[in-house]
Amino acid sequence: MKIITTIAALTLASTFALSQPAHKAMPVAQAAPGGKTLVVSSAHQAKGQVYYAITERDRQIYVESDAPLEKIKGQSNAVIGYVVSSSHNPGSLVAGEWHLPVNSIKTGIELRDEHLAGSDWLDAGAFPDVIVQIRETKDIKVIKQTASFTQYSVTLVGDLTLHGVTHTINVPNSSVSIMNESAATKKVARGDLMAVRSKFTITLADYGVSHPVIGEKVAKEVEMDVKLFMSTNPPAKQ
């Protein structure tokens, strides 16, 4: 009887633990006037050096769905946002947020782009952005150092909100590369620069995206390849 009671207690305890969110949801940053970046809270500004996403230039997001009947590729260069790099360790990202407007994802076929943003799929009307919020980086180590840049390998930890559903993500083997401003960098963008590269997989069902063609024409898991370029100068001064 004692054993049964213990097992029941343990089961209840583990169920309770699983049902708790891993983290408290973070507030979502608002777009700054002009819409080219997000408003950085004073709490985040105090954590270190802010780098702002350089938007509408090089492509930033590449998405691929490799289903048995069809391979779909998408991309966007309309991501806005920022990350905060620790003043103690520049490779450590201590906060940040990126917004990918769903309507900006281009697959090369106009009608498909409309379907993707429609209510049957990502529902851009109700959930206009895919949001990534950085909580921290772990396993930080320098993997390359040259005269012009330092590259760190990190595990990105944050929250991904897609279709109104938020899950914590851990992305190992991500990289953060930092390049101080120089004559060469000034020709391209002003300020100290950062490149963040991260590849991860999204299971559509986890985010409440369901459709009869998932598994046939659209993969259950979609690959995301993020490559954000950032500058210490806000967009207005880039």
User: What is the distance between the alpha carbons of residues 170 and 172, in angstroms, rounded to a whole number?
Assistant: 6
- Tell me: does residue 190 bind other proteins (CB under 8 A): no
Which 8-state DSSP code applies to residue 208?
A: T
- Tell me: does residue 238 bind other proteins (CB under 8 A): no
Residue of 26, 227, 234, 235 that binds other proteins (CB under 8 A): 227
What Å distances lie between residue 211 and 63, 85, 115, 161, CA to CA?
18, 39, 12, 19
- Tell me: does residue 107 bind other proteins (CB under 8 A): yes
Stretch that binds other proteins, among 1-9, 23-31, 52-60, 205-213 (CB under 8 A): 52-60
Residue of 45, 148, 180, 201 that binds other proteins (CB under 8 A): 148
Compare residues 138 and 144 and give the one whose CB is closer to other proteins.
Answer: 144
Strands (E), 38-112: 48-53, 61-66, 71-76, 80-86, 93-101
- Cβ count within 10 A of residue 220: 15
- Tell me: does residue 85 bind other proteins (CB under 8 A): no
- Tell me: does residue 67 bind other proteins (CB under 8 A): no
Compare residues 58 and 120 and give the one whose CB is closer to other proteins.
Answer: 58
CB burial string 185-205: b at 16+ within 10 A, e below = beeebebbbbbbebebebebe
- Tell me: does residue 149 bind other proteins (CB under 8 A): yes
- Tell me: does residue 57 bind other proteins (CB under 8 A): yes
105 CB-contact burial (10 Å; exposed 0-12 / middle 13-18 / buried 19+): buried
Structure tokens at 121: 């799929």
Q: How far is the CB of 74 from other proteins (least distance, A)?
A: 6
Closest CA to 189 of 116, 237, 238, 118: 238
The binding site for other proteins (CB under 8 A) comprises 54, 57-59, 62, 64, 70, 73-77, 106-112, 143-144, 146, 148-149, 151, 173, 175, 177, 179, 184-185, 187-189, 193, 195, 197, 199, 225, 227, 229
